[in-house]
Amino acid sequence: MVKKEQPHKDNAPGPFYVCDDCCTACDVPFVETPDLFSYDDQNHCYVTSQPKTESELSRMIRTVLSAELECIRYSGTDPDVLRRLAESGYSHLADVPILDVKPVLRNHVTFNPVDSMDSLLSTGDLAIMFQSYLRSQENDYLTYKFRSLYSDGFTYTFEYSWFEDNYHKVEITFLGEPNCRWLIVTGTTFQIYDWLLAGNRFCDIRWYTRDQWIQSKIWQATPW
Ligand code: SF4
């Protein structure tokens, strides 16, 4: 049996909870889920509202995965939530043991344009849009470097780094299929996910593992 941590006393009743006495006020919950968390008068965060919609649930799970001190946990038994935690490599953040679910990397995403005019975008245009999005996130402590690797009209491959020369590859391919106009293969799933949603320019966003993309085409709306 996995050990249950002591919850903060102010957590809203329900399966997601912040552990007591663990807070360094990292602010992570207030980036993704400000509507579900608050700080108490000691600057310790706690859950103010349990997720009620699929969107809130997805954002809550991402917050659980992003909290570096691993101080947000799940005490419920919903098989889908347990699977998503375990597939993301965080089964230890559930209070019940999760058996027979291995971590997976959901690093293939397909998407379509909302506006038919955007269907004319080339893969190089998409790369520039993503790079502009990252540049808009830069600040005194965060800057990005980019380098192009390959382009043939259908596939555009580049790398980018935000720490020294630790480059991460992004491959954008034109598919032109219904519901799958473009395919991106990436290791930086959270940043691509945020960009795809940021401007409301893309829809039919579908995430797959490599095997799912090649074989079953089973997808979900988030990489986690
Ligand atoms: S996620 Fe953890 S460290 Fe961050 S604000 Fe909440 S309790 Fe504090």
Q: What is the pLDDT of residues 24-63, one digit of tens each?
A: 999 999 988 999 999 999 999 999 999 999 999 999 999 9
| One domain for residues 177 and 202 | yes
pLDDT tier for residue 4 given thresholds of 50, 70 and 90: low
Q: How many domains does the chain have?
A: 2
| One domain for residues 25 and 116 | no
| One domain for residues 53 and 150 | no
| One domain for residues 178 and 112 | yes
pLDDT tier for residue 81 given thresholds of 50, 70 and 90: very high
CA distance 13 to 52: 13
Q: What is the pLDDT of residues 167-192, one digit of tens each?
A: 999 999 999 998 889 999 999 999 99
Of 61, 93, 125, the domain-final residue: 93
| Residue 195 and residue 130 in contact, taking contact as beta carbons nearer than 8 Å | yes
> What does the pLDDT read at residue 94?
97
| One domain for residues 121 and 192 | yes
pLDDT higher than 80, residue 3: no
Which residue's CA lies nearest to atom 5 of ligand 1?
Answer: 25
Q: Is the CB of 47 under 6 A from ligand 1?
A: no
Hey, which of 38, 61, 72, 90 would you mutate to test ligand 1's pocket, going by the most ligand atoms within 8 Å of its Cβ?
Answer: 72
